[in-house]
Amino acid sequence: MSWLSTKTAFTTPPGCPITIKGWVRTNRESKAEGGLCFVAVSDGSSFDAIQCVVKGNLSNFAEVQKLTTGCAVEVDGQLVQSQGKGQSVEVLVDSAQGGAVRISGLVEHPDTYPVQNKRHTFEYLREVAHLRVRTNTFGAVARVRHCLSMAVHRFFHERGFFWVHTPIITGSDCEGAGQMFRVSTLDQMNLPRTPEGKCDYTQDFFGKESHLTVSGQLNVETYCCALSNVYTFGPTFRAENSNTARHLAEFWMIEPEMAFCDLMRDSQIAEEFIKYCVNAALTQLPDDMKFFDERIEPGLLARLKHVLDTPFRRLPYTEAVKIIQDAMAKGKKFEFQVKWGSDLQTEHERYLTEEHFKQPVILMNYPKQIKAFYMRLNDPGTDGAPGDTVAAMDVLVPKIGEIIGGSQREERLDYLDRRIEEMKLPAKEYWWYRDLRRYGTVPHAGFGLGFERLILFVTGMQNIRDVIPFPRAPKQAEF
RNA sequence: UCCCUGAUAGCUCAAUGGUAGAGCGACCGGCUGUUAACCGGUAGGUUCCAGGUUCGAGUCCUGGUCGGGGAGCCA
């Protein structure tokens, strides 16, 4: 008997003895043929569980009859073509042919097992996150998450990018992307004080204030300016009090950075990247994607195929503002007004990508006052804009909104210094970032992409807390 | 953090201020190469927490806690 994953079993020609090891999904019983149990067993390798048809001649048949959802079993039997409808092959377990069911772990009190053989809400399953992965949906999400992770690395590896492990703990408070979590070993009940009465971080572990990273971008730019094409892919932490279906306190971010690269090429890589990931899920996990299309977001497959087949629409911010203003003039209602220089609201972004263009849209060249200090200042009059713009881009997709934010970086030291001064940032903290502009500066560009948002986009799942194994969010760090 | 909304059986939800209900799940039985099975029965409740109003509160009021939808921040 060779032990096969269900995934392998489904592609193996019938007629051979096999062993399956996994967890019971369902158990149905029949009195026919002297007693039969139909035990569906899942080991997580495939979307479908495999049906084991257990004959009444097994010595422990009485125990098999009592198997309930969640029990762990090892099944020896013959891989055969199914006599019933609903599956192509199944495992026939007949003691006359050496069939056996070994029960590894029972569910001792089935009435207390949290994952019943019925529909559950995602909100409830979140409370049993240690067991929710045993359901169809969360198993499929886990497989897609892995598939996309591998696709990320393959995409960049195939293009000569190097994966850079930027630090999780940072002593820099200038990453500039939101509230940070403090990292400290000080006794919080008895903090050391400076003469001014403030906390004395010179006595802390790192001898200075330190935090969890909110972005690897500044660090990865250093490697970019030596290895040319690099990316980060790792955990990122934001202590914002965000309570939405699109935000996590701990999430995984992908940040490529390319030397000798301008904004247009940056946007081309971003488009290729998204299409590559979508294609990977569609071709490698068709069963899981079919499930998402049928049960999670009807029309998902058509939506994703449309994304693959259509070039992303590139549009200057200045044009986008005109389109939204035109729509308002024609009677389209928005809660917020739009004028050149103001940031677009979620409702405006969704209008552009979901209603006006009905496809992914890349907005480019934003007013400098609403973007970060490191973004490259455009020449005056770019896109006919009435004010200064920077070489920034946001990739907007239906359902999610902003999925990627990127820019060409300011490589000219005098321009960078002016921006740091204008925004009243602590110039001294940026000494090593400024060095990159002093020693062999080059035009370079990159972008950031929230991995969980990519998973939402690809699976059609609604809540970001359901596409990461153990979500961390305000008031939520169980498990 | 702001606005709206919700919390009742293991789960999903009902219940005019007046005896707490159903479906599913679990358990027992029947039927069946079954597959969201079907049919019959049994068990299962501190109605989120703390106060208050009332003869009487699941229901009304106040304050919390947690969830959901939207917004902001963003990825």
- Note the pLDDT tens digit of each residue in A9-47: 999 999 999 999 999 999 998 888 888 999 999 999 999
- For the stretch A39-63, what's the b/e string if a residue is b when 16 or more beta carbons lie within 10 angstroms of its beta carbon? bbbbbbbbbbbbbbbbbbebeebee
Q: Could you tell me the distance in Å between the CA of residue A446 and the C1' of nucleotide B16?
A: 63
Query: Which DSSP string do the residues of A146-170 spell out, in sequence order?
Result: HHHHHHHHHHHHHTT-EE----SEE
Nearest nt to the A67 alpha carbon by C1' = B26
Q: In angstroms, what CA-CA distances link A206 with A148, A168, A177?
A: 36, 14, 22
Query: pTM of the entire structure?
Result: 0.95
Give SS3 for A21.
Answer: strand
Tokens coding A409 = 């970086």
Q: Chain centroid to CA A50: how far?
A: 29
Q: A89 CB contacts (<8 Å, ≥6 apart)?
A: A9, A10, A12, A14, A50, A79, A80, A81, A82
CA distance A175 to A213: 8
Nearest nt to the A476 alpha carbon by C1' = B66
Encoded amino acid at A101, one letter: V
Q: Are A452 and A468 within 8 A, CB to CB?
A: yes
Q: How many residues are there in chain A?
A: 479
Q: Which of A361, A340, A342 is nearest to A350 (CA)?
A: A361
What ranges in A296-404 are assigned the alpha helix state H? Answer: 300-309, 317-329, 346-350
Q: Which DSSP category does A473 fall into?
A: B
Nearest nt to the A66 alpha carbon by C1' = B27
| Range list of β-strands (E), A46-145 | 50-55, 72-81, 89-93, 100-105
Burial class (CB in 10 A: 0-12, 13-18, 19+), A388: middle
Residue nearest to nucleotide B11 (CA to C1'): A120
CA distance A100 to A402: 53
pLDDT value of residue A174? 64
Encoded amino acid at A187, one letter: D
How many helices (DSSP H) and strands (DSSP E) are in chain A? 13, 17
Nearest nt to the A404 alpha carbon by C1' = B75
Tally Cβ neighbours within 10 Å of residue A431. 9
Q: ipTM of this model?
A: 0.91
CA distance A410 to A420: 11
Q: Could you tell me the distance in Å between the CA of residue A173 and the C1' of nucleotide B28?
A: 65
Q: Could you tell me the distance in Å between the CA of residue A475 and the C1' of nucleotide B52?
A: 29
Residue nearest to nucleotide B1 (CA to C1'): A241
Q: Are A245 and A216 within 8 A, CB to CB?
A: no
Q: Could you tell me the distance in Å between the CA of residue A47 and the C1' of nucleotide B41?
A: 36
pLDDT value of residue A399? 85
Nearest nt to the A453 alpha carbon by C1' = B75
Q: Could you tell me the distance in Å between the CA of residue A295 and the C1' of nucleotide B70?
A: 24
What ranges in A3-44 are assigned the alpha helix state H? Answer: 6-9
Nearest nt to the A214 alpha carbon by C1' = B75
Q: Which residues of chain A have pLDDT under 50?
A: none
Q: Could you tell me the distance in Å between the CA of residue A30 and the C1' of nucleotide B10?
A: 27
pLDDT value of residue A173? 67
Indicate the pairing of strand A17-30 with strand A2-3. Answer: parallel
Q: Could you tell me the distance in Å between the CA of residue A117 and the C1' of nucleotide B36?
A: 9
Q: Are A164 and A231 within 8 A, CB to CB?
A: yes
Q: Which nucleotides of B are covered by protein (CB under 7 A)?
A: 1-2, 10-13, 24-28, 31-37, 65-75
pLDDT value of residue A434? 95
Q: What are phi and psi of A302, to 5 degrees?
A: -65, -40
Q: Could you tell me the distance in Å between the CA of residue A77 and the C1' of nucleotide B61?
A: 66
Q: Are A71 and A65 within 8 A, CB to CB?
A: no
CA distance A56 to A24: 18
pLDDT value of residue A108? 83
